[in-house]
Protein backbone atom coordinates (compact mmCIF):
# COMPACT_ATOMS: atom_id res chain seq x y z
CA UNK A 1 0.00 0.00 0.00
CA UNK A 2 1.37 3.43 -0.97
CA UNK A 3 2.03 6.04 1.66
CA UNK A 4 -0.74 8.63 1.27
CA UNK A 5 1.11 11.17 3.40
CA UNK A 6 4.74 11.07 2.23
CA UNK A 7 5.46 14.57 3.57
CA UNK A 8 4.70 14.47 7.27
CA UNK A 9 6.69 17.62 8.03
CA UNK A 10 4.46 19.96 6.03
CA UNK A 11 3.33 22.74 8.33
CA UNK A 12 1.70 26.13 8.48
CA UNK A 13 3.20 28.30 11.23
CA UNK A 14 1.55 31.48 12.45
CA UNK A 15 3.66 33.10 15.14
CA UNK A 16 3.63 36.33 17.08
CA UNK A 17 6.59 37.46 19.13
CA UNK A 18 5.99 39.10 22.48
CA UNK A 19 5.40 42.81 22.01
CA UNK A 20 4.65 42.58 18.29
CA UNK A 21 1.34 43.69 16.83
CA UNK A 22 1.52 41.46 13.74
CA UNK A 23 1.57 37.73 13.14
CA UNK A 24 4.24 36.19 10.90
CA UNK A 25 3.10 33.42 8.56
CA UNK A 26 5.32 30.59 7.29
CA UNK A 27 4.70 27.42 5.31
CA UNK A 28 7.11 24.48 5.65
CA UNK A 29 7.16 22.18 2.63
CA UNK A 30 7.78 18.44 2.60
CA UNK A 31 11.54 18.92 2.32
CA UNK A 32 11.76 21.29 5.29
CA UNK A 33 12.11 24.46 3.20
CA UNK A 34 10.55 27.47 4.93
CA UNK A 35 8.44 29.88 2.85
CA UNK A 36 7.54 33.20 4.47
CA UNK A 37 4.09 34.32 3.33
CA UNK A 38 4.06 37.67 5.08
CA UNK A 39 2.51 39.38 8.08
CA UNK A 40 -1.01 40.00 9.31
CA UNK A 41 -2.50 42.00 12.14
CA UNK A 42 -5.72 39.97 12.26
CA UNK A 43 -6.52 36.26 12.17
CA UNK A 44 -9.85 36.16 10.37
CA UNK A 45 -11.51 33.22 8.62
CA UNK A 46 -10.70 34.82 5.24
CA UNK A 47 -7.06 35.13 6.28
CA UNK A 48 -6.91 31.44 7.24
CA UNK A 49 -8.49 30.44 3.92
CA UNK A 50 -5.93 32.54 2.01
CA UNK A 51 -3.03 31.00 3.96
CA UNK A 52 -4.32 27.47 3.29
CA UNK A 53 -4.74 28.27 -0.41
CA UNK A 54 -1.16 29.56 -0.64
CA UNK A 55 0.15 26.58 1.35
CA UNK A 56 -1.56 24.12 -1.01
CA UNK A 57 -0.03 25.93 -3.98
CA UNK A 58 3.44 25.68 -2.41
CA UNK A 59 2.95 22.01 -1.56
CA UNK A 60 1.66 21.20 -5.06
CA UNK A 61 4.78 22.73 -6.63
CA UNK A 62 7.49 21.72 -4.16
CA UNK A 63 10.72 20.24 -5.46
CA UNK A 64 13.61 18.64 -3.64
CA UNK A 65 16.28 21.27 -2.95
CA UNK A 66 19.58 20.81 -4.73
CA UNK A 67 22.61 19.92 -2.66
CA UNK A 68 25.25 22.58 -2.16
CA UNK A 69 28.23 20.32 -2.72
CA UNK A 70 30.86 23.05 -2.48
CA UNK A 71 29.36 24.50 0.69
CA UNK A 72 29.11 21.03 2.25
CA UNK A 73 32.75 20.29 1.34
CA UNK A 74 33.94 23.57 2.88
CA UNK A 75 31.93 22.91 6.06
CA UNK A 76 33.45 19.42 6.30
CA UNK A 77 36.97 20.85 5.90
CA UNK A 78 36.31 23.36 8.68
CA UNK A 79 35.07 20.58 10.98
CA UNK A 80 38.20 18.52 10.23
CA UNK A 81 40.37 21.58 11.00
CA UNK A 82 38.57 22.13 14.31
CA UNK A 83 38.93 18.50 15.36
CA UNK A 84 42.63 18.48 14.50
CA UNK A 85 43.23 21.69 16.45
CA UNK A 86 44.15 23.86 13.48
CA UNK A 87 41.37 26.34 14.21
CA UNK A 88 41.53 27.86 17.66
CA UNK A 89 38.43 30.04 17.42
CA UNK A 90 40.13 33.40 16.88
CA UNK A 91 37.61 36.04 15.82
CA UNK A 92 39.83 37.38 13.06
CA UNK A 93 39.79 34.03 11.24
CA UNK A 94 43.55 34.10 10.81
CA UNK A 95 44.34 30.94 12.75
Pair 82, 59 in one domain: no
Predicted confidence (pLDDT) per residue in 24-64, tens digit: 999 999 888 899 999 999 889 999 999 999 999 999 998 88
Pair 59, 87 in one domain: no
Pair 83, 60 in one domain: no
Sign of the C-alpha dihedral, residues 52, 56, 10, 22? negative
Who wins on pLDDT, 26 or 92?
Answer: 26
On the question of pLDDT at 89 being above 70, the answer is no
DSSP secondary structure, 73-95, as one string: HHHHHHHHHHHHT-----TTS--
Question: What domain range includes position 72?
Answer: 67-95
Q: What is the domain count for the chain?
A: 2
Distance separating alpha carbons of residues 95 and 87, to the nearest angstrom: 6
Predicted confidence (pLDDT) per residue in 3-27, tens digit: 444 556 899 999 998 888 999 999 9
pLDDT score of 28? 92
On the question of pLDDT at 82 being above 50, the answer is yes
Print burial letters for 46-82: b (CB count within 10 Å at least 16), e (below 16). eeeeebeebbeebeeebeeeeeeeeeeeeeeeeeeee
On the question of pLDDT at 95 being above 60, the answer is no
pLDDT score of 91? 63
Q: How many CB atoms lie within 10 A of CB 26?
A: 16
Amino acid sequence: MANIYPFKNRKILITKNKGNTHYSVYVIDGYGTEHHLGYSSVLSEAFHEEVHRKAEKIWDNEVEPKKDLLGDAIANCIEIDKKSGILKGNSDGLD
